[in-house]
Amino acid sequence: MNEDIKRVIFNEKDIEKIIDKLAKEINNDYKGQSPVAIGLLKGCLPFMSDLVKKFDFDVKIEYMRTSSYVGTESRDVKIIGHVPDVKDMDVLLIDDIIDSGKTLKEIQKLLLNMGAKSVRTCVLLDKILPRKIELNVDYVGSRVENEFVVGYGFDYNESYRNLPFIGVLREEVYKK
């Protein structure tokens, strides 16, 4: 497994530092509030689990599952199953990474339509790339080059999510 990794971008210590920084910002903004943190499965799992432990305000934990597929014209974001009740709630939407931005944009819109009082967004990584979708993400852990990353929740064909670090996959793995 580790032999499939070309380069480690963030080791465990780096990730811890990023999460500490994010938690500080979030604790500051949600002081005295009781928001619901909604994680987008499954990529958010290690990240969200480490992040919420650092929150010092009252927070509820929820999740949603989304999937995106390539259609003939554009990629659609689909929600699979459970949708939490967010009416009149402050929502902190947590995802692993923004790529095109479509997932976060669509889910944010949906939650606001469902009556959420506010929806802020938080991602561990933000890919540096020209983005067609305009999206303001409130909390960004770190920006990364436009490379395919795995580990710490990030998968390739559902594998590598359990690696404790974030790295770039070797090209040979894609070509297999």
Judged by CB under 6 A, how many residues of this single chain contact ligand IMP? 15
Check if the beta carbon of residue 22 is closer than 8 Å to that of residue 139: yes
Q: Verify whether residue 20 is a known catalytic residue.
A: no
Q: How near is the Cβ of 154 to Mg ion at its closest, in Å?
A: 8
Check if the beta carbon of residue 108 is closer than 8 Å to that of residue 92: no
Helices 45-52 and 12-29, interaxial angle, to 10°? 60
Smaller CB separation from ligand IMP, 103 or 108: 103
- Asked whether position 43 contacts ligand IMP by CB under 6 A, the answer is yes
Amino acid at 57: F
Per CB under 6 A, which of residues 49..78 are in contact with ligand IMP?
Answer: 68
- Asked whether position 41 contacts ligand IMP by CB under 6 A, the answer is no
The three-state secondary structure class of 105 is: helix
Out of 35, 39, 43, 141, name the contact with Mg ion by CB under 5 A: 43
Smaller CB separation from Mg ion, 29 or 140: 140
Q: How near is the Cβ of 103 to ligand IMP at its closest, in Å?
A: 3
Per-residue x/- track, 96-135, ligand IMP (CB under 6 A): xxxxxxxx--------------------------------
Backbone angles phi and psi of 104, in degrees to 5: -65, -40
What are the C-alpha distances in Å from 154 to residues 25, 97, 107?
Answer: 23, 9, 19
Bond into 42 cis (ω within 30): yes
Smaller CB separation from ligand IMP, 113 or 146: 146
- Asked whether position 141 contacts ligand IMP by CB under 6 A, the answer is no
